[in-house]
Amino acid sequence: MHYLITGHTGFKGAWLALMLRAEGHTVSGIALDPQPGALFETARISELMANDIRLDIREATGVREAINRLSPDVVYHLAAQPLVAESYLDPRTTIETNVIGTLNVLEAVGGTASVSAHIVITTDKVYRNVNRAEGYGETDALGAADPYSSSKAMADILVQSWVKSFPSVATAIARGGNVIGGGDNAEKRLVPDLVGAFERGEVASLRLPGAVRPWQHVLDCLDGYRAIERALLKGSGAGEWNIGPGRESFVTVADFADEAAALWGDGAKWRTSGATHAPEANLLALDPMKVAVQLGWSSKLLYPESLRWTVDWYKTVSDGADPRSVTENQIDRYHRLGEQD
């Protein structure tokens, strides 16, 4: 099977590329250059790609020509401007990338006869957030306050309307939650901020320690995407899907940081930041009941395991291990969890 990942140089894209390669698939990618020190770079994932194309998804002609030429069987659209803080600094690029870029991919996929399944990744932040403790279901209203979240809500609505208007390729929307895992090095994200401070022997600084998040390991999130893919290839699975963990993973940022510091050791600590920051939701959660009932999918890693696997990845790499080997080992462990079920 030939897979195309847009955004393969990003955090989830890099993990997905390695997961697919571990299963023996051919993998191609379209993305911008990775950030310095990103997992894609440190794990040398380009060596494993059949095609590693650097292209801005806002370039409609280039995207169409590339996807037509590659003729993939399955397309995962992950390419995006994914950072809330960055969206305040550059809202135009965020909206153009996340909305017009998605339109370009939809047009290109629709014109490529080889594609049997298309999974578009949006986010839990597409929902109109009213701090609902039980989480949001797929039929709840979309809407957002910040430029990033609104751009993803626009993209989500675009995909829904596009599929109804031009139903040529089996397409689904996956709304992922708050994902953790080794190799994330984006600025102003909790785990990279914690680990960076811990490695330097500094006290980490948290913006919103009282906020509650549903913590999910990246491998569980990707496994949920794959469940949707399998359904699409069997003739079902179209529509919108929440991919999130159970309620036991709803933990405050402060508790998460406490447990991460304890796992790291070496006197790791954190404090509350006194700096001003862009507005953030205090509570945001998904209700994954639909995917559990209709596709039989649920997370394999509970919250304590997700956190432990994440910290173990960073500590092992910090001690000198090869990032690709560490990542592949965790993918193998995850696959073996599935065999035990």
Looking at the predicted structure, is the pLDDT value of residue 339 above 80?
A: no
Instruction: Provide the mean pLDDT of the chain.
Output: 93
Residues contacting residue 210 through CB under 8 Å, at least 6 positions apart:
252, 253, 254, 282
Find out whether 222 and 78 touch, Cβ atoms under 8 Å.
no
Quick one: 317 exposed, middle or buried, by C-beta within 10 A (0-12, 13-18, 19+)?
Answer: buried
Question: What pLDDT digit, counting tens, does each position of 134-148 carry?
Answer: 889 999 999 878 999
The answer to whether 177 and 217 are in contact (CB under 8 A) is no
Q: Supply the pTM of this predicted model.
A: 0.95
Residue 316 pLDDT greater than 80, yes or no: yes
pLDDT, average across residues 319-333: 98
The CATH superfamily of 2-336 is NAD(P)-binding Rossmann-like Domain (3.40.50.720)
Q: How many other C-beta atoms lie within 10 A of the C-beta of residue 186?
A: 16
Which pLDDT belongs to residue 74? 98
Question: Residues 92-112: what's their mean pLDDT?
Answer: 97
In angstroms, rounded to a whole number, what is the distance separating the alpha carbons of residues 147 and 26? 35
What burial letters (b/e) apply to 77-107, b meaning 16+ CB within 10 Å?
bbbbbbbbbbbeeebebbbbbbbbbbbbbbb
Q: Output phi, psi for 150, to 5 deg.
A: -65, -35
Check pLDDT > 60 for residue 341: no
Question: Residue ranges of the domains in the chain?
Answer: 2-336
* Angle, in degrees to the nearest 10, between helices 101-110 and 60-70: 40
Q: What confidence score (pLDDT) does residue 84 get?
A: 86
Question: In terms of C-beta density within 10 A (0-12 exposed, 13-18 middle, 19 or more buried), how is residue 330 classed?
Answer: buried
Taking a C-beta distance cutoff of 8 angstroms, is the pair 78, 121 a contact?
yes
CB 185 within 8 A of CB 147: no
Neighbours of 293 (CB within 10 A): 9
Q: Is the pLDDT of residue 216 over 80?
A: yes
pLDDT band at 133 (very low <50, low <70, confident <90, very high): confident
pLDDT tens digits along 269-286 = 999 986 655 556 677 889
What φ, ψ does residue 176 adopt, rounded to 5°?
A: -85, 160
Residue 79 has pLDDT above 90, yes or no: yes
**Is residue 223 a contact partner of residue 306, using CB atoms and an 8 Å limit?**
no
Question: Do 74 and 3 meet the contact criterion of CB atoms below 8 Å apart?
Answer: yes
Which of 29, 7, 292, 28 has the alpha carbon at shortest distance from 155?
7
Residue with tokens 């949707």: 228
pLDDT in tens, 148-196: 999 999 999 999 999 999 999 999 999 997 899 999 988 778 999 999 9
pLDDT at 115 > cutoff 80 = yes
**Model pLDDT for residues 29-73, shown as the tens digit of each residue:** 999 999 999 999 999 999 999 999 999 999 999 999 999 999 999
3-state secondary structure of 244: coil
